[in-house]
Chain A
Amino acid sequence: MSANPVAIAVFLILFVMVACLGFVATRWRKADLHSVHEWGLGGRSFGTVITWFLLGGDLYTAYTFIAVPAAMFATGAVGFFAVPYTILIYPILFLCFPRLWAVAHRHGYVTAADYVKGRFGSKTLALAIALTGIAAIIPYVALQLVGMQVVFAALGIPSTFAGIPNLPVIIAFCVLAAYTYSSGLRGTALTAVVKDLLIYVTVLTAIVVIPSALGGYGKVFASIGPKLLTLPHGSDTSLGATFSYASLALGSALALFLYPHSLTGILSSSSSMAIRKNAILLPAYSLALALLALLGYMAVAAGIKAMPEYAAGFGAFGNNFAIPALFLHMFPAWFVGVAFAAIAIGALVPASIMAIASGNLFTRNIYKQFINPNCTDRQEGRAAKLASMTVKLGALVFVLVFQTSAAIQLQLLGGVWICQTLPAVLVSLYTRWFHPTGLLAGWAAGIISGTVMAYQLSLKSSVYPLHLGGITVPCYAALLALVLNFAVAALVTLVMNAVAPDKTDETVPADYHG
């Protein structure tokens, strides 16, 4: 691709501006950034508005903005499940997470594993939760870097500079690492504000400018084959695509707030009412996501794939190149710079929160628990910063060494894994009935069965065709594994409660109301 100087200039100006903001944030609401509570949770001080930007910037990642329209572009209606998914997360957020916030606030928990350890008194169960979180998040960070690579390539920035391959993405990574290290969640919260404003400007412009250039929404939908426009209905022998669509929406919604980066965003807010308010205000992002998803159809209508100038991009990144190509085709160069900056900064924000969240997990639930139990606040903060750096480096190496498809496949597995922490983290907010050994057994059963199912699907899909007495039930593997998880957890709990009951619990019911 040929370089696009105007777009690159606008892109660089915005990118550098936002990076500087990340560094300035060390001075915002000045505090001792050496402690984990300040560095990794922003001192639990964010009100409704900052939480809205932070969670919005956190949950709707750059990769989402590229991959969801790409799925629509390639597979039609199936890809739209991201919309019901991101609607259903909010009743769950409203109902369950103020309880988690309240108990975490009362006991000073920084991570989900902290809470599980307090609730069940089991270091092993807490370790399982922490490791699941870290394993699920690394490929997620890697995907953010992939999102940046796509944008760099679309801008025509050569991937090799002065003989060093992948230099642009390495530089972007260094920016991310440096400002996360120095200012922690504060820097991310400030950049999130700018990122979201850019995203909204881009989305609103795109949904007005592009359809009118293509002759209206009617023309756009008319260019999609009728078979792709809706889902095929089930038959006598299979529940069909409508069922797998629902299972994907529900399973993904259950998993989202179990991810460490979502929890970090939630726990950093200053009150449980700020979380409840956000459960009402955040769906604005889901509407933006739905509008973005339709861009996938606009890319089809515009005939992007047949244009020779984008063939190299599609060759390198597959359908993930559809949206960048559509922007290049439709927007003037300076606005391409704005839109691409929105995507690239949209990668920095979640990647930074993910790295912070995994740093918190490592420090609180591995370092402090098993390596240096008597560490000072300062040592703890330092360990968190170094751990977050390691996770980012891991993600970078991952992107540089393996194919993009490996990151996508592992992220798919990560979704299946993180869902298996639901009984220990969410259900336990309501009942202490489960025995820690039961939860651990259920977790193991869920992780193993989920992984096996994913491998049987060659990691290409997460919809497992379960055969039940002559009927095929195509269901999101994470949900099937979760059902097994619950069954095993309940069974082992019944046995353990009879043999060796364990009611260790440092929390009391009143802790959960805030």
Chain B
Amino acid sequence: MNIDKPQGRKFHPIYFLLLVPFVALLWVPSYDRVDPELFGIPFFYWYQMAWTLLGAVCTLPVYLHEEKTRS
């Protein structure tokens, strides 16, 4: 461990959450279809729109972790 690193900066597995949106959105064949539709919107579109919110949901625990380690 590098000596001038402040304490509590070790890698924490919670950071893996930030990878989840990459897997969900870059694996395109997994969502490249029409069904099931939602309010007449094909799956391809509402799935990706849902990830605008889910992406933030994935980041939130990491943020709370950061906040905790700072105080």
- The yes or no answer to A217 lying at the interface (CB within 8 A) is yes
Please determine whether B34 and A230 come into contact, CB atoms closer than 8 angstroms: yes
In contact, B40 and A216 (Cβ under 8 angstroms): yes
Q: A233 CA to B32 CA in the complex, in Å?
A: 8
Q: Which of B22, B34, B49, B66 contacts A287 (CB 8 A)?
A: B49
Q: Is the CB of A287 within 8 A of B26?
A: no
Q: Which secondary structure dominates chain B's binding surface?
A: helix
- B42 interface residue per 8 A CB criterion: yes
Whether A336 sits at the interface, judged by CB under 8 Å, is no
Instruction: Name the B residues within 8 Å of A94 (CB-CB).
Output: 18, 59, 62-63
Residues from chain B with a CB closer than 8 A to the CB of A273 are 66-67, 70
The residue that B21 contacts in the complex, of A91, A218, A290, A291, with Cβ under 8 A, is A91
Does A90 make an interface contact (CB < 8 A)? yes
Known: A95-B15, A218-B40, A229-B44. A509 touches B2 (CB 8 A): yes
Provide the residues of chain B in CB contact with A234, threshold 8 Å: 29
Count of chain A residues with a beta carbon within 8 Å of a chain B beta carbon: 45
Assembly CA distance A216 to B38 (angstroms): 12
- Contact yes or no, A280 B28, CB < 8 A: no
Contact assessment for B48 and A84 in the assembled complex, using a CB-CB cutoff below 8 Å:
yes
Asked if residues A221 and B53 are in contact (CB atoms below 8 Å), the reply is no
Cβ < 8 Å to B, chain A residues 209-245: 216-221, 226, 229-231, 233-234, 242-243, 245
Which B27-71 residues have a C-beta within 8 angstroms of A?
A: 27-29, 32-34, 37, 39-42, 44-45, 48-49, 51-53, 55-56, 58-60, 62-63, 66-67, 70
Nearest-CB residue, chain B, relative to A513: B6
- Which A residues are CB-close (under 8 A) to B52? 83, 87, 283-284, 286-287, 290
Say whether, besides A217-B41, A513-B6, A91 and B32 are in contact (CB < 8 Å).
no
New A-B pairs, 8, CB < 8 Å, besides A230-B32, A286-B52: A80-B45, A229-B34, A233-B32, A249-B26, A273-B66, A283-B53, A287-B49, A294-B45
Nearest first, the 4 closest Cβ-Cβ pairs linking A and B are A218-B40, A242-B28, A217-B40, A91-B18
- Using a CB–CB distance below 8 Å, which chain B residues touch chain A? 2, 4-6, 9, 15, 18-19, 21-22, 25-29, 32-34, 37, 39-42, 44-45, 48-49, 51-53, 55-56, 58-60, 62-63, 66-67, 70
